Amino acid sequence: MSMNEGQPRDRLAEATSGRLHWNDAGMDAFEQGWQDFTLGKRVEVRTPADAWAKGTVVETPLINDRVIVVETDEVVHDNLGFRGGRGLTVMAYMNTRRGILSNIREIDEEPRHVEVPIPKLKELEGKGAELLKIAELTAEASEGRLRIAIHEEDESEELDYSGGRFLKLDGKRLGRDIETYDFMGDIQEMGGWQAVLPMFLEEVLLQVQEDLPESYAVASQRLQALGELVYKGKQLEEWNELFKESEYQTLPTGSAAIICDASDGSLKGHPHVFKFLITMGEVVDHKDTDSLERDLQERATNFMPIPFRDPTHWVGIRPLDEDRGDILVSIEPFQEKPSGQIKLTLVRSVFDQEPIEEANIDASAFTEQGFDLNPKNGNNLGLVLNHKLSQLLYDFQLGQGQFKPQGEEQA
């Protein structure tokens, strides 16, 4: 009589030649054990007839999100529609380590090359397409810190074909796949879009609100508008309340900060301070004086022409609707590269320089954006500052972002 007669069958011990056993510690680990069976690996897999067949791993859960697919060397079943009768699967989704390793094992053979079929991204429509657009706008306003990742691991650029499109912040996943939000939005039992929009707000936009206020401002406006298609009555009121917590304003499209005066102090009795006068407004290029004169006639009180590098090219500024004044930028003289603190002073105009607000900021905030802070550089007169630096100065004008008074409560 066999010593094992009447004992439960240990399929894991059978699969591993006694190296592992069914009740070993760690064998009930959830969805573990499949990671070693990479594409092209040569294996033996348990067949429906409870035999072992040699084959090659041709898909993993990184591709299909659920199973290891093995193409066996020989026909093992009569379902010719599944890889000509040579396809077998080992479920990884909702399975344990013992359940996986009982049905597949490595063999000592050279891996084979496997062409990976790249899954086609779902063509999003309606609210799903709008959510993707919001994600794209969020990335565009982030100065490179956010991007749309496609078929990638959460914290690396390694391929993961089970995924779709999602945002990455500094190389790490932010929120779920856009396709997942779209899928959930179409299922009323899960709350539909009424549940998905707050989820996207919390999992994505609120995560960048502090570090990337411009991205948040651009995207939140569009997400709030999307909510108007989803909510009605009191629900809409509650949805809109969520966005009143932040009053951060982005610089209007087409507007920028422009250097309209520069001085090394020697002509104004301040030999120890370099100064720039900066104004904010909509930027208008004029390639000839005729265009300039026409605009001057039409907008005599709302226009400031500035020479821009040569006498034939002019840059005009149409003041913003809510003109808060101009900004004086002051810094101690330097020889090669500016360092230390810059003083920002908000004044009513070039003619009335009584301080309204003042703040200090490190010189690197300007130099890292390509502005050399040298008043003797003729190219600086009429210089249109880039969007990031213009937004920084707009923040100072409005007293928002890093210039928001400490302890001030949000409205």
Q: Are 271 and 397 in contact (CB under 8 A)?
A: no
Q: Are 147 and 155 in contact (CB under 8 A)?
A: no
pLDDT for 55: 97
DSSP 213-228: HHHHHHHHHHHHHHHT
Tokens of 129: 């397409």
| Residue type at position 371 | F
pLDDT for 207: 92
Phi, psi for 247 (deg, rounded to 5): -110, 20
DSSP 81-148: TTGGGTEEEEE-TT-BHHHHHTTEEE-SS-----PPPPPPPP---HHHHHHHHHHHHHHHTTTTSEEE
pLDDT for 402: 82
Q: What is the DSSP letter of 15?
A: H
If we measure between CA atoms, which residue out of 226, 200, 11 comes closest to residue 104? 11
Residue 276's contacts (CB-CB under 8 Å, 6 or more residues apart) are: 259, 261, 262, 263, 328, 329, 373, 375, 380
Name the residue ranges covered by the structural domains of the chain: 11-106, 126-241, 255-403
- The Cα 260–Cα 282 span in angstroms is 14
Tokens of 228: 């108007």
pLDDT for 271: 53
pLDDT for 102: 97
CA–CA distances in Å: residue 283 to residues 280, 287, 305, 381, 384: 9, 13, 10, 15, 8
Q: Are strands 165-169 and 172-174 parallel, antiparallel or unpaired?
A: antiparallel
407-410 — which CB contacts under 8 Å span 24+ positions? Answer: 410/245, 410/246, 410/247
CA–CA distances in Å: residue 315 to residues 105, 296, 298, 318, 322: 71, 12, 16, 10, 21
Averages of pLDDT over each 10 residues, the chain, 411 residues: 60 95 94 94 96 95 87 95 95 95 96 84 94 96 93 87 90 95 92 95 92 90 95 94 75 84 62 81 75 64 50 69 81 81 87 86 86 80 85 89 67 40
pLDDT for 298: 62
SS3 385: coil
| Residue type at position 303 | F
Tokens of 150: 């496609």
Q: Are 264 and 288 in contact (CB under 8 A)?
A: no
Q: State the angle between helix axes of 213-227 and 126-140 in degrees (0 to 180), rounded to the nearest 10.
A: 160
| Cross-strand partners of 53 | 45
Tokens of 302: 């709302």
pLDDT for 106: 96
- The Cα 153–Cα 163 span in angstroms is 8
pTM over 0.85: no
pLDDT for 297: 65
pLDDT, the chain, mean: 85
